[in-house]
Amino acid sequence: MSPSDFRNYLEENFQISFNHLPLLQEALTQRNYLNEHPKEKGRDYQRLEFLGDAIMQATVTEYLFKRYPEWDEGQLTEMRITMVQTKSFAHFASVIHLNEAIRLGKGEEMNGARERPSLLEDIWEAFIGALYLDQGQAAVVSLLQQTVFAAIDENFFDQFIDFKSRLQEKLQAQGSVDIDYTIENEIRNEDNSQLFEVSVAVDGKVLAHGSGQSIKDAEKAAAQKAYQDLTAK
Amino acid sequence: MSPSDFRNYLEENFQISFNHLPLLQEALTQRNYLNEHPKEKGRDYQRLEFLGDAIMQATVTEYLFKRYPEWDEGQLTEMRITMVQTKSFAHFASVIHLNEAIRLGKGEEMNGARERPSLLEDIWEAFIGALYLDQGQAAVVSLLQQTVFAAIDENFFDQFIDFKSRLQEKLQAQGSVDIDYTIENEIRNEDNSQLFEVSVAVDGKVLAHGSGQSIKDAEKAAAQKAYQDLTAK
């Protein structure tokens, strides 16, 4: 997909009309592509990434600050760390098909850089920087409403949270306790897939159960349930 | 100075009319003050600091991005690190007399927290967060134009830069070299103050001279001159 095709795609799917195509192009251009195309004018994405990184951080911060008026700065910071990270930005870069529009050097293309999370994160930030310069803060917020912020309501970010560590921190805030995970049940399906049920107990008292296709997933589900029960109180 | 006096001070000196006094008050309130005044409603400054930290970072980033269109992301990042740091924010907090308006707990007051750089940094960020919510991005930019951005033109941030390290990195980028600082002259004034003149040489060739009231200051001045000569080329 060329930068110009990507511009049309943005218009049709996200109601974003990018004015200044060279700016969009810069956000989508990796350094080695320029080395291989010496007649091309313009820069690679790195200056725009410098800008977009700060714009993302500020926009997510303001959104969380206003959405959760009762949260303290610790809860807000925890949520922001979960949202503003490589895995998250790489995911949303693919959601809006940024990966297909990157202008990559041949060597990077061969090495699979087009799907590499660290590059997708950089390009996401560069694109946000370009969008901010081209259309202003409101367009950035509008795009994030349709992607990153909408994902909060779908509990998308739960997958990035280490609930076992969170539960442990919570339970041990007042001193040392014993936390045990026990496999309560194990089902093997006809297709050989498995389902585990795990309980989590603190000092012998069961707090919650969770299930999953691996022991690790079931433990995480139990920890998440216990953690959310404790913090909801 | 009460939050309300501080509001008047802002109006007279920086043309900022703060509308929502409770918001300004929140930015100026330290936790122990609230513990000691249980009848007070409202929060301490920490949520606003969470917001203002991100707003400062984004506003400085955008300013540098636009002011230095020829700089690459490395130069921009280096400059931002120098500007967005405890010593810098603590200085500007005092410049606008934020320190006089903080509502501190008695214990903190006794311990000198009112002039402690880490607290002044927090309060600066919280105040920027409050200003952003009350007056929007343009008011933040206007205040920074009168303080932080104006300081760039006065070379204010040079004092935070370790020019000896920068010069070394620059000179050794292509391989190992010998860098020597030599005291060339030493003057003792009638009041017993001293003035040193130092030269810096690389592989025996003198690059620059610098002077200062201590050997350390003179070395830094020489390194700064040499570094700036090299990067201006």
How is chain B split into domains, by residue range?
A: 3-160, 163-232
- Whether the pLDDT of residue B233 is over 80: the answer is no
Please say if A12 is a catalytic residue.
no
Query: B224: closest CA among B212, B194, B60?
Result: B212
As a whole number of angstroms, the distance between CA A166 and CA B42 comes to 29
Percent residues over pLDDT 90 in chain B: 87
Q: Phi then psi for B159, rounded to 5 degrees? A: -65, -25
Contact B186, B204 (CB under 8 A): no
Q: Hey, how many other C-beta atoms are within 10 angstroms of the C-beta on B37?
A: 12
Contacts of B65 (CB under 8 A, 6+ apart): A47, A50, A51, B76
Residue A97, amino acid: H
Positions of chain A with pLDDT under 50: none
Mutate which: B46, B50, B77, vs A, most A CBs within 10 A: B50
Residue B123, amino acid: I
* Confidence (pLDDT) at A132: 98
* Confidence (pLDDT) at A233: 62
Contact A150, A70 (CB under 8 A): no
Q: Is A61 on the interface with B (CB under 8 A)?
A: yes
Active-site annotation holder among A26, A44, A121, A125: A125
Answer yes or no: is B40 a known binding residue. Answer: no
Contacts of B108 (CB under 8 A, 6+ apart): B30, B32, B114, B119
Answer yes or no: is A49 a known binding residue. Answer: yes
* Confidence (pLDDT) at A89: 97
CATH of A163-232 among 3.40.50.1980, 3.40.50.300, 3.40.220.10, 3.30.160.20: 3.30.160.20
Query: B177: closest CA among B207, B139, B157?
Result: B207
* Confidence (pLDDT) at A34: 95
Cβ contact, residue pair A77, B49, below 8 Å: no
Residue A5 half-sphere exposure toward CB, CA atoms < 13 A: 8
Q: Is the Cα dihedral A66, A67, A68, A70 positive or negative?
A: positive
With residue A40 as reference, give the H or E element that holds it. none
Contacts of A62 in chain B (CB under 8 A): 51, 54-55
As a whole number of angstroms, the distance between CA B41 and CA B21 comes to 13
Using DSSP bridges, classify how beta strands A194-202 and A179-188 pair: parallel, antiparallel or unpaired.
antiparallel
CA of A45: which chain B residue's CA is closest? B73
* Confidence (pLDDT) at B79: 94
Q: Is B190 on the interface with A (CB under 8 A)?
A: no
Active-site annotation holder among A26, A44, A53, A219: A53
Q: DSSP character for A23?
A: H
Answer yes or no: is A158 a known binding residue. Answer: no
User: What is the side-by-side strand order in the sheet with B205-212?
Assistant: B179-188, B194-202, B205-212
Contact B202, B178 (CB under 8 A): yes
Say if A3-160 and A163-232 have the same CATH topology: no
Contacts of B51 in chain A (CB under 8 A): 61-62, 65
- Cross-strand partners of B182: B199
Cβ contact, residue pair B54, A61, below 8 Å: yes
* Confidence (pLDDT) at A231: 84
pLDDT range class, residue B173, cuts 50, 70, 90: confident
As a whole number of angstroms, the distance between CA A152 and CA A79 comes to 10
Mutate which: A61, A84, A133, vs B, most B CBs within 10 A: A61
Contact B17, B105 (CB under 8 A): no
Q: Is B137 on the interface with A (CB under 8 A)?
A: yes
Contact pairs from chain A to chain B, CB under 8 Å? 54
CATH architecture assignment, domain B3-160? Orthogonal Bundle (1.10)
Q: Is A68 on the interface with B (CB under 8 A)?
A: no
- Whether the pLDDT of residue B93 is over 70: the answer is yes
Complex prediction ipTM = 0.86
* Confidence (pLDDT) at B189: 87
User: What is the side-by-side strand order in the sheet with A194-202?
Assistant: A179-188, A194-202, A205-212
Distances from the Cα of B83 to the Cαs of A11, A124, B76, B134, B217, in angstroms? 38, 26, 11, 24, 21
Task: Work out the average pLDDT over B165-187.
Answer: 91
With residue A187 as reference, give the H or E element that holds it. strand A179-188
Q: Is A47 on the interface with B (CB under 8 A)?
A: yes
Cβ contact, residue pair A55, B58, below 8 Å: yes
Please say if A125 is a catalytic residue.
yes
The token pair at A142 is 């509008």
Q: Is B62 on the interface with A (CB under 8 A)?
A: yes
